[in-house]
Amino acid sequence: MANDESSVRVAVRIRPQTPAEILEGCGICARAGGPAGEGGIALGSERAFTFNYAFEPSVSQQEVYDTCVRKLVEAALDGYNATVLAYGQVSPYS
């Protein structure tokens, strides 16, 4: 779906666990499927969602930017309209 010519694309990055979550032994319930940056997200064994881009917690912010945002910024600098909206729970440890 990452090669779709739609003007709207959706990316998701699973946030890393916080130190408190790790100490409490919390499990990770979400996982990205497919190669890095492609595929969807699975929640447990019963729910799956498809996005244009999906990233595991181990993927760096730089890789997310390079994959999803860099071309939009370059296009905006060339005079095209571009919007990047970041939404959702964040971790200070990412």
Which tokens sit at 27? 């499990």
Is 43 part of any domain?
yes
Q: What is the total count of domains within the chain?
A: 1
Is 27 part of any domain?
yes
Is 5 part of any domain?
no
Is 83 part of any domain?
no
Angle between helices 70-77 and 61-68 (to 10 degrees): 50
Tens of pLDDT along 7-38? Answer: 888 898 888 888 888 999 988 888 887 655 56
Is 86 part of any domain?
no
Is 93 part of any domain?
no
Tens of pLDDT along 63-89? Answer: 989 999 999 999 999 999 999 988 876
Is 57 part of any domain?
yes
> Residue 54 belongs to what domain range?
11-77
